[in-house]
Every structure is written in C-alpha cells, then in structure tokens.
Amino acid sequence: MPELLTAPAASPAETNPFQPAAGRAPRWLFTALWLVILAALTVQFAWPLAALPFHVSWNNNEGWNAYWTARALAGQPLYTDAASPISNNYPPLSFYIVGGFGRLIGDPIIAGRIICLGSLIATTLLIERIIARFGGSRWWGAAAAAVFLLIIATVAQRYLAADDPQWLAEAPMVASLLLLIGRTAEMPSRARLVAACLLMLLGGLIKHNQVALPIATTVWLAFYHRRGLAIWLVTAAVAGGAALAALALIYGHPFFDQVLHHQRIVSVKLIGGALHSVSYTLPEMLLAGLLAYSRPRDPRISLLLIFAPIAVLVGIFERLGVGVSQNAHFDGAIALTILAGIVLSCGMIGLRSVWLRLAVLAVMVAPLAARVARKAPENLREASAMKQTDARWQQAIALLARQPGAVACERPALCYWSGKPYALDVSNYGQKLRKGHDPIGLREQIARKQIGAFVELRDNRYMAGRGRLPDDFYRLMETRYRVAQVLPDDLYIVVPAD
C-alpha cells in the first residue's frame, strides 16, 4: 500500500483566519467575501423559495413527477408499454417517498420541493464534513461548501426547491462518500464498505443517473484495497441482485423496458450547454489538477481524484441526451468542490498564504457573482411578484379544468393542478415522434382538434433536438388552435379554434 500522507498540524493562526498575525489578511476581507457569497445566494434562492408554497412552476419535471407519484399512491402501473402516450424512465422509490410526505401536507409538488431543498442542504453539509475529515481550517472548508451551493444556485437555479428527485438521490450518495473517506487515512472497514454500498444502491433506486461514484469506488478499491474490493463486489451483487429481483417481481418487464431501454435522442449539438455548465467549475478543476500533479499519498484523496474526472465526463456524456439538464453535472461539482476545499483548508500545493487562498476563493466566486448580478433584477422582480403570478396561474388552471377532453402540457404541473388525467408526456413522446413512431396518431388528433388544450413552451419551438414535439406538429397546431392565455416563462395555452 502506498505511504500515507499525514497533513501537517495547523497553527492557531492558520486554523482561525480571523486571528491577527503578522502578514495575515485583515478580517474585513473575509467578511466582505462571505457577504458577497451570502448576497448572491439570497438573490438566487429568492424566487424558488417565494414560489415554494404556490401553484407556480418553473421546472418541467415537477408535474411529471407529481403525476407518477399520484399513480404510485393509487396503486396504478408505474411503467407502461412502448405504445403508451406516457412513459416513466425513473426508478420507483422517489414517488413513494414524496407521495407519503405529500399526503401529509396535501400537495405532492410542494412536498417534493421541501424534500429537494432539505436534501440539497444535507448534501452541502456533508460536503463540508468530508472536507473537514482531512484536517486544516474549518473556515475554509465551510467557504468551499458555500461556493458549491452558489455554483448550484447559479447554474441550476430551477433545481433549488423543485419537485425533482435528483437531490434526494445525491444526499445518500454523498453520505456514502463520507463513510468511505473516514476519519483517518486508513482503508474503510468491512462495515463501512457494506454501508456505503447500500447507500449508493439507495441513491440509485431514487435516481439512476449517478454512476460516477460507484465506478470510481470500484476502481479505487481495485488499486488500493483488494480485500475491500471483494467485500464491495459481493455486497453490490447481493444487494443489487435482490433489488432487481424485487423490481422485476413488482413491476415486471415494463420497468426494464422504460428505465433501461428508454428511447432518448442523443445529439452532439447539445455539448455546448454541457461545457457552459462545466465552465463554472474551472477554478476547482485547476486546483484538482494541481493536487493530482503533486501526487498526494493519502489514498482518500486518490478516491476523490478518480471520482472527479469520471463524474465530469459522465455528466458531459449524459447531457448529450435530449431532455437532460444541469443535474447531470451535480456529481462533478460535488467532487471538484471537495478537492478544492481540501486544498484551501489544508493549505496544500503551496497555498499556505491566506492572501493566496483568498485570491483563489475570489476567483472561484467572481464569475458566479457576476452572473448573479446580471440577473438579480429579474430574480428579485419575479420573487416580489409571486402572488400576482400565482393569480395568473390560477386562472390558467381554471381554464384548463374547463376544457373538455384531454389536455397536454409542456409544463405538466399546470395539467396536474387542473385535475386533468395524464394524457400525453410531451417530452418523452416527442422523442418517439422524432424517431418516426406515433402509436397514438397525435398528428391526426391535432388535425381533428381532439385534444382539449395544449400548453406550449414557446421558447423551445422550432428548435430541433430539444425533445418536445417536432416543428411540423406546432405548425399544424397553429392552423387548428388559438392562443387563449399567455403566462410568464413563455408559456402559451392554446385551445381549439372556433
């Protein structure tokens, strides 16, 4: 086993950045940097928190999750056949967790928002705990965790308090990483390996796109802990096999058809969005690269150095799928933030000077704060107008409820709150149409005005590869339907023309 690296003991002045010492930065600089971070977080969280109790939705996933949550609680099938106009490509566990809480508070979408927010906070606290396991200054570890929260709030604002299972799945994944890291540089015990494996499986049963950490852990154990690798593989085989058997018994082959064989269009044209999201973690990437170049001998850091590039690359690859959003990059942001936090808190790779660390932290914060500043007026305006926005949404919900027949929504929360059954999964069915499949004859239904209303997301119209309906369907709709109401966020409600 490689020689372990023990971090040098920090002096009182290094442990407490506020303690005056020769050549130390003044306290006001630390305070100013924290105020910038907190102000940016306040702006970014303003409208997601303001919208939390209202029937207003900015995330297309919310209504989709609510419909499947309702089906789970009603005992209806969660997975359908290929000819169905609706499809579910998520594992089942989140629908029961959110649904159970939703029964208590009366609305699964609001329940999902609360769970999402709590899970995001838990993930951020776990990141700080992992950084603290390596010693060094707790202040710098907390600062790195705060920057992580700012990255998510800036790049993926619609995932801060949304009815989406991604953060609910991330929390047990990061908890498993905390178990693997441990309090010392020694390899994890058998109990911690088993517990970490089970937590990863739990996360996978909530959301199945988090493959980077299980892969990284397997590679790491293969290099550093062969006996632990055997325990890990046996646990994964037994627990994973039992989970698959239970899923097959409960849901049958439609589960595997919908989740594992989901028809998703992949387009390299979408790489621009992926690289843009990743670009906000470039300072953390640089610190991680310098740390790798220094060849640290602590095997725990090696786990993180294996995890980070796998997570970044997996996120970019996943983002090439139509309909996949910024949540594909969460694992990469987590791994890179932890590595950057270790460098800052322990003063590694030559960053002993507080001035240098402050400069690095400022470089991490500056592009995020600049983006927040540009959009601050819009964010604060949306937050302050939430009651008025809710009133407009209530009118739209009432309009949809009055329409005879089925309705189809690119923002499914509107259809859900209007009490309409789930008739058409516009996003997933749109991908079937792009592949030449139209099992329900949607074109003919539009031509005959058999669908009572559509909710269109106009900013995505005529943009090939976005995964909603092909362009000619919208052009046909314009000849058969008229605009009945316009909502914020470019939402248009169209009903059959007279």
Q: pLDDT tens-digit profile of 292-328?
A: 999 888 999 999 999 999 999 999 999 998 888 899 9
Mean pLDDT, range 107-116, rounded to an integer: 97
What single string gives the DSSP state of each residue in 145-173? HHHHHHHHHHH-GGGSS-S-SHHHHHHHH
Burial class (CB in 10 A: 0-12, 13-18, 19+), 133: middle
**pLDDT tens across 367-406, in order?**
999 999 999 999 999 999 999 999 999 999 999 999 998 8
| pLDDT tens digit sequence for 148-185 | 999 999 999 999 999 999 999 999 999 999 999 988 88
Burial environment of residue 477 by CB neighbours within 10 A (0 to 12, 13 to 18, 19 or more) = buried
Tens digit of each residue's pLDDT (9 = 90 or more) over 208-245:
999 999 999 999 999 999 999 999 999 999 999 999 99
pLDDT at 356 over 60: yes
> What is the token pair recorded at 57?
């939705």
Q: Cβ distance 414 to 397 under 8 Å?
A: yes
List all residues 6 or more positions away from 460 whose beta carbon is below 8 Å from its beta carbon. 410, 466, 468
Is this model's pTM higher than 0.85 or not?
yes
Tens digits of residue pLDDT in 213-223:
999 999 999 99
Q: How confident is the model at residue 13 (pLDDT cuts 50, 70, 90)?
A: very low
User: Once rounded to an integer, what is the mean pLDDT over residues 117-139?
Assistant: 94
* d(C-alpha 153, C-alpha 168), whole Å: 16
